[in-house]
Amino acid sequence: MKKIQIKYKLFLLFSVSFIGMLILAERSFKLSQENISNATTIFENSQSTQHLQENYIEPINALREMSLSLVMSPNEDYRKTIEADIMKQRENLEANFLKLDSKTYDFWEAYASSVEKTCTYIAARFEEGAFVHVNSIERDHYYALLNRLKALQHDAVNQAEHNFADIQTSAQALKYELAILILALSSLVFTVGYLLSNHIVSSILKLQEGLKDFFGYLETKNILPKPIELNSRDELDDMSKLLNRNIAQASANIEQDIIFVEDAINVVNDLKMGKLSSRLHATAQAQELRLLKDVVNAMIDNLESKINEEIFKRSEQEKLLIQQSKLASMGEMIGNIAHQWRQPLGELSALLINLQVKHEFNDLDDAYMLASIQQCVKINSFMSGTISDFQNFFKPSKEKEVFEISEACERAISILQASLKYHGIEFSFDISEKMEVLGYPNEFAQALLNILSNAKDVLSEREINNPFIRLYLKKGYKYILIVIEDNGGGIANEHMDRIFEPYFTTKYAKQGTGIGLYMTKMIIENNMGGVINVKNTESGALFTIKLPSVMDVDTVALA
């Protein structure tokens, strides 16, 4: 049996069944001929029952559903459609019920009136009343009418049963013969069918189990599926061999794709860490994954190229900003030198005029000449020292160093002091104690000078009465605060969020480049690890610089 192919097994089963069916057909033919006349009568009775079902009961159920849909309708347009259908259905049923007896028509008339009442409620927009009516009075009339129709249908069924009893009486003679024959043939077909189906089902279950293991592997990727083994030589055995080959190939492909996905995850993690040197090297079997490999590698190459290009642009931009900052600082330096030299040059000019006058009046003696020359040399030395101070101030610091912050503040103040005095601006500098920070002293002094210069320009341009600039230092547990405050009226609200942006300035184009405060923020936050903030007070602007103290910097470095 195991070596017979399934098509021959099924052919044997169908042959046995066909022979049995021929025998049963021959024996049943005699019985069927005798009962044709009685069956005709039963058919007529069933037609009557079907007529009631099709022309009365089913339309009544449809009308009931329309009535319920009308009550539950979500909008007016849909209700109008349902009302039209109800009207048409009622007209059809009215014509049908006129053909029945008067008692049945009375039940119909009562139910039709209930449906009409429901429509009246809906037309009056009384949805609650319609809902109650359709589920109480209309429902009662519906069931009353339905029960009446069922009674008519029951009468027709009873008549059919009476006729069927006659058929049973006439068929009694052949009943036992057919029963024995059917039992024998059924036993034979059952036995043969059981043996064949049991073998087929057993093979199918093994195939199903093998496929279940394979699908489980697809979900978990843990245990490789076992080969499917069948003890037969039929089509199912050929199918199992084909499935085993395909499952083995699919499992190998999946394993290779898993390795590819793991490689892709590692590349993505490297990208998150900023490593652009990683590429996908594993090979995948799926065409989509191979395409993904090409796309990801091309994307990384493109990203790396764009990042390098952007770094180059940023570097060039930073160089341009630094150059512009130097030019702006040079202009500030020349202006401050002018203020520093104004008084010494006046003194030097006065001494020379006195020497000229005394010489013209022959009143120039050696002592006065020597004293005047010494005074000129002193003034010249002061002016030369001023140039050296400016040169050292604008010379960038090469490495970070620990410096006393008040000294850097005083260097910035000395550059601007003459200009503040010229504009009549009161300046105060309050130091509570010695404070040291780690950073670039010259750059910090330049950052502080940018803030002080902006405050001086605002006070001068706005012609503030009794202008002042206050600078004071405070030392905290971890940070040192440098606070610069003025009474220049403050910063406009629309400019507050932009004053640290590059090239943003409220001055005229010839008076400012808009990079002073931007460079200040870069120096404080990027170079020295601090924070700079600004806000308006009642009288002006208040800048706050917060720098880590030397103790806090050392603690962070040790950690």
Q: What are phi and psi of 555, to 5 degrees?
A: -65, -45
Instruction: Please name each of the domains of the chain with its CATH number.
Output: 6-208 (no CATH), 315-395 (1.10.287), 398-559 (3.30.565.10)
For residue 283, the 8-state DSSP code is -
534 SS3 class:
strand
Q: From CA 266, how far away is CA 273, in angstroms rounded? A: 11
Q: What is the pLDDT of residues 344-391, one digit of tens each?
A: 666 567 667 777 877 887 877 888 788 778 777 766 765 665 565 555
**And the tokens for 526?**
């990027």
Amino acid code (one letter) for 395: K
Q: From CA 386, how far away is CA 380, in angstroms rounded? A: 10
Q: From CA 301, how far away is CA 308, in angstroms rounded? A: 11
Q: What is the DSSP string of 11-53?
A: HHHHHHHHHHHHHHHHHHHHHHHHTHHHHHHHHHHHHHHHHHI
CA 502 to chain centre: 33
CB atoms under 10 Å from CB of 206, counted, come to 17
Up-side HSE of residue 391: CA atoms within 13 Å toward CB?
Answer: 6
CA 380 to chain centre: 71
Query: Which residue is associated with the tokens 């600004």?
Result: 534
Low-confidence ranges of the chain (pLDDT < 50): 393, 508-512, 553-559
Who's near 428: CB < 8 A, 6+ residues apart?
A: 468, 469, 470, 471, 472
pLDDT (0 to 100) of residue 509: 40
Q: From CA 444, how far away is CA 519, in angstroms rounded? A: 10
**And the tokens for 205?**
């279950």
Q: What is the pLDDT of residues 5-56, one digit of tens each?
A: 666 666 676 677 778 777 777 766 666 666 666 666 666 667 777 777 778 8
* Stated pTM of the model: 0.39
Do 471 and 431 touch, CB atoms closer than 8 A?
no
CA 556 to chain centre: 37
CB atoms under 10 Å from CB of 402, counted, come to 12
Do 539 and 474 touch, CB atoms closer than 8 A?
no
pLDDT (0 to 100) of residue 557: 44
CA angle centred on 558, ends 552 and 559, rounded to 5°: 90
pLDDT (0 to 100) of residue 543: 94
Alpha-carbon torsion 14, 17, 23, 26, what sign? negative
